[in-house]
Structures are given as structure tokens and as C-alpha cells.
Amino acid sequence: MVTIGGLHGKVVEVSDKTVLLEVDTNVKLRFEKSALAMDNTMQLTEEVAKANA
């Protein structure tokens, strides 16, 4: 997954409004879903996020 700021990471958790990305070994950052660069017509679920990781 890529944020709109260009940060790349692996999705490790998805909640209603946020996504937790692992950006390095043992380094996890939480982002608002709106900060992710993806097609906004898709609803972001854990399954969709992991499929696009």
C-alpha cells in the first residue's frame, strides 16, 4: 500500500477509519484511510488492502 505522501508499507490492520502499515521491521504507522493512494471507488477492507499490498 502507498500513502498519498509516497510512503510504502505492508497492511497489518484495517479499522473503520484507519489502516496500520508496517513500513520497516517492527515499525508500524497508523494512517487515515483518506491518506492512502488507491482508487476511491473501492471500499477499503482488510481483504482489499492485503490484496493490493
**pLDDT tens digits, the chain, 53 residues: what are they?**
888 888 888 899 999 999 999 999 999 999 999 898 765 555 667 777 777 66
In the prediction, which pLDDT does 51 show? Answer: 76
pTM: 0.67
End-to-end CA distance of the chain: 5
In the prediction, which pLDDT does 15 show? Answer: 92
CB atoms within 10 A of CB 21: 24
Whether 20 contacts 12, CB under 8 Å: yes
Q: CA dist 37 to 2, 6, 21, 43, Å?
A: 6, 8, 13, 13
